Amino acid sequence: MVYQILLVEDDLDLRETMLDVLNEQGYQVLAVASGQQAVKEASHHHFDLVITDIRMEGMDGLEALERTRKIQPSVSSLVVSGYASEHETLKALSLNVGGYLKKPFAVQEFLNSVADLLARRGAESERNRELLTLRRALKWSLENSARLGEELSWTSARGRPDEAGALAYRLAIALGLAPPACEQIRLATMLYPLQLSPRFRISPEALEESSIMRPIGSALSALQQPGEPLPLASRLVHLSWHLLEQRHQLGELPPAEQIPDPALRQAYEQVRQSDWESEAGQEERWGGGHNPQSSLLFLGQALEEAGDPGAAQAFTQLLAQEGLSATKVEAALGLARLSLIRQDGSGCLQWSARAVELASHLGPLSHALAQLERALLLHQAKAPQSSSELQQALSLCVSLPLAQSLAQLALGQREGLEVLLRPENRGEIGRRWTWMLGALLEVSQANEPASLLFPFARELSELLARGRLSLAARRRLLACCQQLQSVPEELVTRLLTDSEAEIRSGAQNLSTTQSQPLMRLLTLGYLQCHIGPKRVEESQWKSAKSKYMLAYLAAHRGWVNEEFLLECFWPDSGPGGRRNLHNNIYYLRKCLKAHLCEEQEPILREKEALCLNPALALWHDLDEFAGAFESGDFRRAVELYGGPFLEGCYMDWVLPIRQSLEEKHLQALGRLAQTGADQGRYQEALELSARLLSSDPASQEGHLLKMRAHLGLGQPEAAIRQYKTCERVLQEELRSEPSLALVTVYQRARHGMPDEAMEKLSH
């Protein structure tokens, strides 16, 4: 195993000496000159050991070590210093520093300290692996023991142990308990029926055997002592089985008002609206694959759409986290949008500039898109610098047709109109309708935007009601309406009350029809549904399964037999499953019809088959992604990929679709990175290959493209480090070796040779 070491030393001569000595021993070393650089590198690379001086300009070594530990809690540490104050010594002790060397020191003493710390780390890693294996074996045994008790009549009248465990687990998460405690509560809930049966009961001695079992035993024993106040864990066990019993009797979970404890009531209301059932038996997977930043961003955006002031808190909390990420860029843009709504011009400037600064470290594509968002926000705020910001965005977005068209539209230019009016870009118009519809009308000619009237009639009528359309835009709107045989009724009503007599007069002879609002369904990432200008709020779905049923029908266009839906959503549920299906279809219909026109039926039924009404005006990111990928428009496919399909949902039917889409997304990233490297756009190739590796760290294609990008940028040392990282990951994950292509690029890096594509381009 090749150990990875981060060396932090501001003395150039000493840093180079230590680097040479460590490299001679076969260690993989990254040397930096400041604490700030150390924290930045720790955000992007794994390290086994940090060697740091204490006293440096700016951030000192101990502060750098403290912040690095927040990113990589298990990293070992060796502090070297010529002099340490009492305060620094105490801080080093509080950080549990692994070793300490006083300058000057002998080379062998230094190497012995490093070898000792890495040997301890290796032994500790091995122990942790053994403990993890034992822990998983114990959990597997407990879960299977609990499932053996499903034949008990007590559980048949309530539900399955894994259902009760999933419900208790999600309640514990909603209450903010630590993940290990949540897992112990889940296991206690699953085992509770066994403890009530002499036939299956686990002995008290076994429940006291280990640190995992003791909290489980305490929660279960408290439930068998009537009259005593119950600890929180025991209350969650009891509540989960009680709620399942109510569901068995009522056909659905009872309302939250029945729970007297305010904290439990609030947690239950949150869980009741979530997809807790689909996570039965998936808690460990949910915990391991859950992206806290992604869910925090989703929460902030949902609160922003609902006008809830908690949105700012969610965005701010996300930005306070360590490291660089695309979600932090989105959080900064979210705060800029909130500032714009509050008419806080300085806040909009500050937060949009922060987003651009963060994105500039991610790569040229992220930088270009963040600059575009900043420019569009300043354009909406009518800021004096918006024109220059839009020109800058235009220059950065030369390889992004849709983004370039948006910047041109905001500048009042017609060049990108053809791109924006394509049917596949209706989702982009729906997202930005508050300024785009007026701008499209102003720069259009003849009846170019007439096709926009029907899907965006509600948005246009709202802009008319707010007085947000200029006279030129209203004239163009009227001209488009006069070209149509019938016009959405709400538009005609608004035009008839316009402040200009010519508009009112021109609207008098228009024939009306019911409008059909555009439904924008986003399933790449967390599910979102927008109908017209409004988003369907989480509370309106009534149940998570009705929400995911919409996603199922949208993903499987055409007729779907009820039996397939039962198998996917309520397997092995018996007669109660069909009742649940009908209830959820009712909830789904009711939710959608509240946003559609009265005559429109969103879900069609034919005997025992269902389908999403094909007459709906639907823009579905899944369809658009598939179309872009199949047509070879990989850039558009990457733009559309907002995250894993139905992120946070682990129903069996979701996983194959998610895996297929992830593979296509990785292929698209690889194709774009390959093209970028072959054409000498190495910064772009570096960003895209980094994205590929963040999704699949063992991708040899990703490592190869990133190495080529480093070579093209004149960074052979970085290419060598990338090869070593690839070597380690492949060995740990797949027990395999790098490909010949990787070895070839590695040899080019070692000999200081440029990337092959650069040689071809120069010739």
Question: Tokens 């002031």 identify what position?
Answer: 309
Contact 704, 741 (CB under 8 A): yes
The tokens for 669 are 């990233």
Pairs from 387-394 (Cβ < 8 Å, separation ≥ 24): 387/411, 393/368
Residue 198 clears pLDDT 90, i.e. is over it: no
Lowest mean pLDDT among 224-238, 434-448, 741-755: 224-238
Give the pLDDT score at 287: 33
CATH of the domain spanning 519-623, picked from 3.30.2290.10, 1.20.1440.230, 3.30.365.10, 1.10.10.10: 1.10.10.10
pLDDT of residue 289: 38
Which tokens belong to 523? 């399933």
Per the model's pLDDT, the better-predicted residue between 652 and 749 turns out to be 749
Residue 740 has pLDDT above 70, yes or no: yes
Element (H, E) at 460: helix 457-466
pLDDT at 288 over 50: no
| The pLDDT of residue 538 | 81
Q: Taking residues 710-720, what's their average pLDDT?
A: 93
Options 1.10.260, 1.10.760, 2.60.40, 1.25.40; CATH of 297-513: 1.25.40
> Which one is predicted more confidently, 82 or 166?
166
Give pLDDT, residue 94: 58
- For the chain, the average pLDDT equals 85
Supply the pLDDT for residue 260. Answer: 86
Which is more confidently placed, 742 or 204?
742
User: For the ranges 199-203, 389-393, 444-448, 552-556, which has the lowest average pLDDT?
Assistant: 199-203
The 10s digit of each residue's pLDDT in 417-467 is 999 999 899 999 999 999 999 999 999 987 788 877 888 999 999 999 999
Same topology, domains 297-513 and 653-762? Answer is yes
Q: What is the DSSP letter of 63?
A: H
- Going across the sheet that includes 528-531, the strands are 534-535, 528-531, 519-522, 618-620
Residue 523: band (very low, low, confident or very high) from pLDDT cuts 50, 70, 90: very high
Residue 45 confidence (pLDDT): 77
- Tens of pLDDT along 167-194? 888 888 888 776 677 878 888 888 888 8
DSSP 6-24: EEE-S-HHHHHHHHHHHHH
The confidence score (pLDDT) of residue 159 equals: 74
Q: Which of 67, 687, 70, 674 is nearest to 361 (CA)?
A: 687
Would you say residue 311 has pLDDT above 50? Answer: yes
Q: If you compute the radius of gyration of the chain from its CA atoms, what whole number of angstroms results?
A: 30
Which segment, 100-109, 280-289, 556-565, 752-761, is predicted with the most confidence on average?
556-565
Q: What pLDDT does residue 471 have?
A: 95
- Work out the average pLDDT over 272-293: 50
CATH of 4-126, one of 3.40.50.2300, 3.30.70.1400, 3.30.2420.10, 3.10.20.30: 3.40.50.2300
Determine which helix (DSSP H) or strand (DSSP E) holds 4, and give its type and residue range: strand 4-8
- Give the integer Cα–Cα distance in Å for 688 and 275: 33
Provide the percentage of residues in the chain whose pLDDT is more than 70. Answer: 88
pLDDT at 731: 83
pLDDT of residue 95: 62
- pLDDT at position 281 is 40
Q: Read off the pLDDT of each residue in 698-717 and give the average, rounded to a whole number.
A: 94
How confident is the model over 511-532, as a mean pLDDT?
A: 92
Q: pLDDT band at residue 148, thresholds of 50, 70 and 90? A: low
pLDDT score recorded for residue 505: 94
* pLDDT tens-place string over residues 660-687: 999 999 999 999 999 999 999 999 999 9
What pLDDT was estimated at residue 405?
Answer: 96
Pairing mode of beta strands 4-8, 49-53: parallel
User: Given this model, what pLDDT does residue 83 score?
Assistant: 62
Question: For residue 354, what pLDDT is reported?
Answer: 96
Task: Tell me which of 294 and 708 has the higher pLDDT.
Answer: 708
Give residue 315's identity as a one-letter amino acid code.
F
Residue 434 has a pLDDT of 94
Report the distance separating Cα 738 and Cα 703, nearest Å.
10
Could you read off the pLDDT of 312-366 as tens digits, one per residue? 988 998 998 877 889 999 999 999 999 999 999 999 999 999 999 999 999 999 9
Residue 84's pLDDT band (boundaries 50, 70, 90)? low
Q: Distance (Å, rounded) from C-alpha 13 to C-alpha 61? A: 18
For residue 280, name the pLDDT band (cuts at 50, 70, 90). Answer: very low
Residue 88 to residue 95: CA distance in whole angstroms:
11
**What does the pLDDT read at residue 143?**
61
Please state, in angstroms and rounded to a whole number, the distance separating the CA atoms of residues 618 and 532: 11
Q: What confidence category does residue 153 fall into, taking pLDDT thresholds of 50, 70 and 90?
A: low
| Sequence ranges of the domains in the chain | 4-126, 152-289, 297-513, 519-623, 653-762
**Each residue of 364-382: pLDDT tens digit?**
999 999 999 999 999 999 9
pTM score, two decimals? 0.65
> Picking from 106-115, 224-233, 616-625, which range would have the lowest pLDDT averaged per residue?
224-233
Homologous superfamily of the 653-762 domain (CATH): Tetratricopeptide repeat domain (1.25.40.10)
Residue 67: other Cβ atoms inside 10 A: 17
Read off the amino acid at residue 607: K
Answer for the pair 453, 485: CB distance below 8 angstroms, yes or no.
no
pLDDT of amino acid 154: 61
Q: State mean pLDDT over 5-29.
A: 89
